[in-house]
Amino acid sequence: MSGGAAVERQRPAAGAATAADLLLSAFDWEGDRETITLGEAVQRFRDVNGYVGLPVPAKPAFLKVFRRLINGSRAPERIYLVHDASHVLTGTTFTHDEPPLVLLAGEAAEQGLYFASRGVPKPVGWVLFYGGAFVECARRIAPFGQVFRGIRLGIFSRAYDYARRSRLTDLFNLPVDELWNLPVAEARRRVGIPAEGSAREMYRGIPVPAEMAAALRGEWRGFGRDDRAMQQ
């Protein structure tokens, strides 16, 4: 975490690859944002990824502590509804048919935005998010290597600082019911999020080291996405 400030001072060099080039989902989540409702977009996010909106049992049991600290005591179904709506509204969406770092970056970015919007101190949020992430690694749900790549890029810290600078709305208290039947772009405008979401603008400021960029291009090719592999 001590390297977070140094990471924040970095800026992409001219022509260098950024997270916007290599870590945004290739799925067309945004093409219909002016017409698809938030409710429809949340359901699409769940359908594409095979989610049902219900919590995965917390095993080992101490994972419940992380969940309670992060989400409070609200009903599990509500937690997942707000979380998925937050992914859609902030643009931190992903699929499971892309390089794994796309998914992990999306989660790290959403959680950085989330903790900052709630006013949780950055070190506390970082420990809660990555503490949970490393437990998932130990359970072989997420790979350690991908988590370390996300830490190296400083995605959580950059998302946290972006949220503070932009005075992002409190993602914990999103008025999901009021926004449910609005087009995604309009729902974003109602809560002060850019019409294109937060992720694209934020990712443009995250440089990807040359060796990691080359590896990610190879991973995109492996998923049949030569168009993303050609991103500079």
| pLDDT tens-digit readout, 111-148 | 999 999 999 999 999 998 888 777 666 555 567 888 89
**Cα 160 from Cα 149, distance rounded (Å):** 17
Reported as a single tens digit per residue, the pLDDT across 73-115 is 778 788 889 999 999 999 999 999 999 999 999 999 999 999 9
Cβ contact 121:79 at 8 Å: no
| pLDDT of 2 | 38
SS3 content of the chain, % helix, strand, coil (to 5): 60, 0, 40
pLDDT confidence of residue 185: 97
What's the pTM value of the predicted model, to 2 decimals? 0.85
pLDDT digits (tens, 9 = 90+) for 8-50: 445 666 568 999 999 999 999 999 999 999 999 999 999 999 9
Question: Which pLDDT belongs to residue 222?
Answer: 95
According to the model, what pLDDT value does residue 79 have?
A: 87
Check whether 63 has a pLDDT greater than 70.
no
Q: Closest Cα partner for 85 from 120, 49, 46?
A: 46
